Structure 1
């Protein structure tokens, strides 16, 4: 799990993950990660990041209705995908049976 701080928008692994990996938390991140962080800081303004974090924490504090709606929507999409796959497989199977000249 990663943690983010508003100061400099640094995203680092959680303290627990660092402890399990036996990593010094005060050590600077590797060069390639610092370059990526610098790029992200130039592309995404800090106020947008803070606004996103506030929005996410507000969503987390809301009653479970939104989460239930998300789950229902995902289940509907999954059911549609399963039905579409079953139709495709049936059509392919049906077409293969009709194309066969030697019925067994």
Structure 2
């Protein structure tokens, strides 16, 4: 399952993905998506050209990003570096939230 998520999430959506990096490293968005799938949720990995809405972005930052291992050290987006895009997990989950496919509670209550 992990290699399928890497192929469909990281390679398609994440500007930070580097195939040569440690495969065990994963953003919080990756682990949330992995757990959603393990819990039986069907996730579409289709890429969208739309930006994640500002309100959804704020929800993700406050409920997911703050729990990410890259948040304090290693996330250019969280550090608000000019032009730094969010990770692929943030982008995909943002589109799923904006499309009402999942809710912020699905992310917060993930086990």
TM-score by length of 1: 0.24
Higher relative contact order, structure no. (Cα contacts within 8 Å, ≥ 6 residues apart):
2
Larger relative helix fraction: 1
